[in-house]
Amino acid sequence: MIKKAVIVHIINPRKMKLEKEYLDELLYLAEGAGFTIVEVVKQKISAPRAPFYIGKGKLQEIKEIALDNDVETVIFGVNNLSPSFKHKIEDFLKLEVIDRTRLTLNIFEAHASSKESKIQVELALLRYELPRLKGRGEELSRLGGGIATRGPGEMEIEKERRIIRKRVNTLEKSLKTLFKNRGTMSKSRKKQNIPVVSIIGYTSAGKTSIFNILTKSDFTVDSKPFTTLDPKVRYGYLGNNHGALFIDTVGFIRDLPMELFTAFKATFSEASNADLLLLIVDVSQDNINEHIETIYKVLKDLRIEDKPSILLANKIDLLENIGTVVNSIIAIYDGLVIPTSAVSLEGIYDLKQSLREKLTHANTLV
């Protein structure tokens, strides 16, 4: 079944340089969630406007486009659209409205397959939905019990809120157990004296392709966002009687929803326990610097920005001006940069050699 959507692209006048990158990423996420985009409606505003976030005239334009094209969903390109705005916009359009955060959560939900990833995604979804119950309760209360009274709608929402909070508590306990188990596995690896390399990067930068090459694995490679939710761990031989355990982790995007970051903290902790970080950037993209900044922001949030690392300028097979691009990366990244291609295998030999040297320097190589 085709899911048609209209995208509302909010342009902040103070961030005009990133306008194209924000839109490209939003389109990428929408298509990854299975939507066919009918039209992109742009609105330049420096701050939300009551009562619909954007102007009523622009909202009417969106409504007419949706009616003409059998659209059922409107995607607002902002994170955490307030419950008040969301309900008022939906009431005006008579359509489903989702923000960028909910869009990202939808993708994670679709790709969650293991018990661990399902727990983490459900927890993120519930934390996102909990504050959004209020608006629905007020609407229902006005219908059933009057503005100044605790009507049946409000009481029903309070009941639903208690159920959600109880479920959140249960999931958080399960997550603590998972976190503890990951810590136990990490200690076990340390006892075996096998170095651990965590592969980190923007979603679809080629992390799984590099992981497959280094570990001689054949995990499915997909260009869609967030296809890797569960960390994969495999041993990879680096030559000269040296090897390491490689971990393929969840990909990042700009402004990763806090609900997901918090819920997937146990998964991200794999990077915290690694001896070395392998940072991967898709150099065929126009916004390489922003991707590197996003990676650094996540590393800082995890407090591991000072860990030893190597940055792979990946997908150089798609470039003609390799030297220029690599030099631009070196200008902002204070560390070793290796141009690589998972297709032509260019740079893989240099990568293995650098991994041996880096891990030897850390006195962890076996």
| Annotated binding residues for Mg(2+) | 208, 228
Check: CB of residue 137 under 8 Å from CB of residue 153: yes
Q: Which long-range contacts (CB under 8 A, 24 or more apart) does 132-138 make?
A: 132/83, 132/86, 133/83, 133/157, 133/160, 133/161, 133/164, 134/83, 135/83, 135/84, 135/86, 135/87, 136/83, 136/87
Length of the chain: 366
β-strand pairing of 242-248 with 232-239: antiparallel
Report CA torsion sign: 210, 216, 219, 222.
Answer: positive
Q: Which DSSP letter does residue 318 get?
A: G
Cis peptide preceding 51, ω within 30 of 0: yes
Check: CB of residue 225 under 8 Å from CB of residue 251: yes
State both tokens at 77: 């390109």
Check: CB of residue 220 under 8 Å from CB of residue 227: yes
Q: How far apart are CA 250 and CA 227, in angstroms?
A: 8
State both tokens at 14: 């103070």
Interhelix angle 265-272/115-129, nearest 10 degrees: 120
Q: How far apart are CA 224 and CA 4, in angstroms?
A: 18
Alpha-helical (H) ranges within 33-99 are 56-68, 83-93
Check: CB of residue 141 under 8 Å from CB of residue 133: no
Q: Which residues are annotated as a binding site for GTP?
A: 201-208, 226-230, 248-251, 314-317
Residues 6+ apart with CB under 8 A from 312: 201, 210, 278, 279, 280, 281, 337, 338, 339, 340, 347, 351
Q: Which residues are annotated as a binding site?
A: 201-208, 226-230, 248-251, 314-317
